[in-house]
Amino acid sequence: MATVKDLRGDQPTWCPGCGHFSIMAGIQKAIVQLGYEPHEFAIVSGIGCSGKVSEYVRTNGFHTIHGRSVPIAQGVKMGNQKLKVIASGGDGDGYGIGLGHFVHASRRNIDMSYIVMDNNIYGLTKGQTSPRSEHGFVTKTTKEGNKEYPVDPVSTSLVNGATFVAQAFAGDIKQMVDIIERAIEHKGFSHVNIYSPCVTFNKINTYDFYKERLTKIDEPFENRDEALAKVRELDGLVTGVLYEEKRSDFQDKLGIDFDTQSCANGEMDVDLFHRVEKQFQ
Amino acid sequence: MRQSIEWMVGGQQGEGVDSTGELFAKTLVRYGYSVSTYKQFMSRIKGGHTNYKIKATDTRNYYSGDGIDILLCLDKETLTKNGVNLNEGAVVIQEGKEILVEVKQTDHGTSFTEFTVPLKKIATDLGNPLAKNMIALGISAGLVELPVEVLNSFIEDIFAKKGEKVIASNKEAVLKGVELTKTHVSDQINALSVVPVSDQLFISGNEATAFGSLMAGCRFLSAYPITPASEVMEWLSDELPKVGGTVMQVEDEIAGICFAVGASYSGTRAMTSTSGPGLSLKTEALGMAGMSEVPIVIVNSQRGGPSTGLPTKHEQSDLNQMIYGTHGEIPRIVLYAATIEDAFYIAAEAFNLADKYQCPVIVGLDLGLSMNKMTVPSFDPARVKIDRGKLITDEEAKEYGETHFKRYRFTEDGISPRPLPGMPHAVHTTSSNEHDESGYISEDQTNRIQMMRKRLEKVRHAMIQEPFKYDDNGGETDIVLVGMGSTYGMIQETIKQLNEEGVVSASHLHIQQLYPLPTDKLEPLLTGKRVVTVENNYHGQLLQLLKQHMPIHNNAEAITQYDGDPFTVRTIAKQVKELISWQR
């Protein structure tokens, strides 16, 4: 039985107090509490402070490129249907450069979890506005205040068919671990947006900011419309599992008896060759 | 009796030009002939001139030919656009109000027989207006005395679902065509000699590439539709699910490569297929595969660039992108089949090289090679054996006794033993950041230098079975013509022609492994010779590549063409002659 210690990888280099520490711990704890071993997981991360999680949580990890953790993670699952797959990244990674993939992953419903560490800013590049920065947000690149409005992540996955949509807060580890566990166990694409305060560059969306404003919900809404209405009503400041739907995932729907990994050294399959060759004769 | 035939059907897109051409080609194949084809088409669904060119010979050929013996015109443009290529004594079949046979001359003074036939009317009288192309095929078959039974067997296949009546009317249309030939243009009949039927396949470069990939054990392809590469994805969509694999058409080109890299990381042989614009989009992820040492096969079928360029036209202008594309420096292997036959083996070898060297392998194709079918001797499945390189089992990983397996272990050959995620004794980190042996981020300079050397030197000795084809044409020659991809047949025929004319003797080098370039083997063939590359791009990218690696600067030129059409023997021969006279 693995312990949290077994899931410790490289030494984290995040700023002291960064919300990402809690999320890393949340992922480790969820894996342990569910009784999995490190080798059963692949964590695929993007680029940014959040991208380092694939090295800090000791499972199989793939630290990829900016915005592409979601398509790569889906590919991992297509290649090995037995692996538990988590994609992880930040708000810039997932809702900026990689937004397209997020929408398509939501509608495709491959069995994996997507955990976004949402700090409403670009941290690793030292404090530029992000697609999640609020209107009027002042940064080095928006000195007169952000003239755009933020992406609404949970509404996006809700509208586009994700079968598990949740939101958590790095300052509430108990609820977060519970949500991550449920996301991991959900069969299909599960999206978890986690508010993760950047203590260095974001002086607006702090721990206190969230503590004062977040509303917790205990039970998922019956349908997408109710979930969407609540998100809108609370301006996104809501935590809990917003929606969960049991539906066969993408791989089930394909109905293929997967045999992708048996390719071994030796001769080509001559029977297959002759069977296929016929169509060109 | 004739030993060869050059035939073309032309018409508006959507008129069945393609299917008519393919049917005639298959008939010639079944009759035992070696057939090469070329399809001209435009970037639209309906309308616009399109044509299907066939050259069939009793000995093996690799080129669809410069000329036309029989031109089947389904629209007025066919003759205007292609009349210039008619061979002396050609027959042109035209739709018209009534049957008419006239001897005419082209603007270039080539005489031909124009056989006008009310195809549509005759087909309507037969009760099936759609069978007009079949009458025309019957005329074509009649002109070379092809047995109608061969055509009929295909008709039975094609219209199997439409019922006996449709089959019967189409067969009748073919017979009618043959009869029209005998009645009105019997003096034009020149039978094709009978050849022994051999075991040959009629296949396109895309199909051969996909087939080779399937046989190499590829079980996952993710891609985005793009001309002229889509058929790779389409063909595998049918075949992969039968063997437990799958094709995914994903949201964009970037996802195309990323899904495949993910699947390959988890141990499945995986690929993506694209064309130039897609490769541009994939280059960051290509770099990731190189840096993180994940095997991946990328098929790039080139078309007319740059940008959207000439999306349905032929070009060979992605050489630089395939060899250099992506920021920073990565290990990679770039292959480019000379013929459709080679495309099968090269695709299969690409997967071996990707696994063996744990790096991206780009399989170059071009529109000419990708979309056109040719007869090839059936492939030999024993020629390429599956080699998964340093992939290790959990048992083997366990012997290292590491809590966190060192994925990027330094080794003598730079290639690290590779476990797969999911193995209990091999939890490991894969990374596109610079990393140490454990896969963890490292900015240490000593480590950086070692890692760069490990990655970039490991592919130095990578070599496919046939990195190039070389024909010294029987001895010392005046020049060496160098090509890549689908120019193989044209260069071969040009050399033959120049030789026969006594103009110049030339040897033929066709390079199939562009990177790493097999310089040691190529240098003795090129240094001290007059080198002339033949390539479909503006800059002479192949020439530049050769110059970069070998001391041939004072004696090398490029013959280039970038108008969207493939070379003809005529144009290459003309330019070779010009080059030669210019030097004298």
pLDDT tens, residue by residue, A127-156: 999 999 999 999 999 999 999 999 999 999
Q: Under an 8 A CB cutoff, do A80 and B243 touch?
A: no
Q: Identify the H or E element spanning A183.
A: helix A173-185
DSSP B446-481: HHHHHHHHHHHHTTTT---S-SEEEE-TTS--SEEE
Residues of A in contact with B382 (CB under 8 A): 267-268, 270
State the amino acid at position B313 in one-letter form: K
CB proximity A229 to B under 8 Å: no
Whole-number Cα distances in Å, A175 to A17, A194, B313, B322, B446? 19, 11, 58, 49, 44
List A residues 77-96 in contact with B (Cβ-Cβ < 8 A).
77-80, 82-83
Q: Under an 8 A CB cutoff, do B246 and A60 touch?
A: no
CB proximity A239 to B under 8 Å: no
Average pLDDT over chain B, rounded to an integer: 96
Would you say B520 and B545 are in contact if contact means Cβ atoms under 8 Å apart? Answer: no
Q: Under an 8 A CB cutoff, do B404 and A256 touch?
A: no
Q: Under an 8 A CB cutoff, do B244 and A257 touch?
A: yes
Which residues of chain B, if any, have pLDDT below 50? 584
CB proximity A252 to B under 8 Å: no
CB proximity A107 to B under 8 Å: no
CB proximity A37 to B under 8 Å: yes
Give pTM, 2 decimals. Answer: 0.97
Q: Under an 8 A CB cutoff, do A80 and B421 touch?
A: yes
pLDDT at residue B44, as a whole number: 82
Q: Identify the H or E element spanning A85.
A: strand A84-90
Q: How many other CB atoms are there within 10 angstroms of residue A3's CB atom?
A: 9
Distance CA B226, CA B277 (A): 9
Q: Under an 8 A CB cutoff, do B431 and A62 touch?
A: yes
Q: CB within 8 A of B554, min separation 6: which ones?
A: none
Q: How many other CB atoms are there within 10 angstroms of residue B310's CB atom?
A: 18
Q: Identify the H or E element spanning B28.
A: helix B17-30
Q: What is the pLDDT of residues A114-125, one digit of tens each?
A: 999 999 999 999
CB neighbour class for A218 (10 Å; exposed up to 12, middle 13-18, buried from 19): exposed
Comparing CB atoms, the residue among B220, B251, B427 nearest residue A78 is B220
Q: Under an 8 A CB cutoff, do B421 and A260 touch?
A: no
pLDDT at residue B583, as a whole number: 60
Residues of A in contact with B385 (CB under 8 A): 265-268
Distance CA B159, CA A183 (A): 52
Total residues found in chain A within this entry: 281
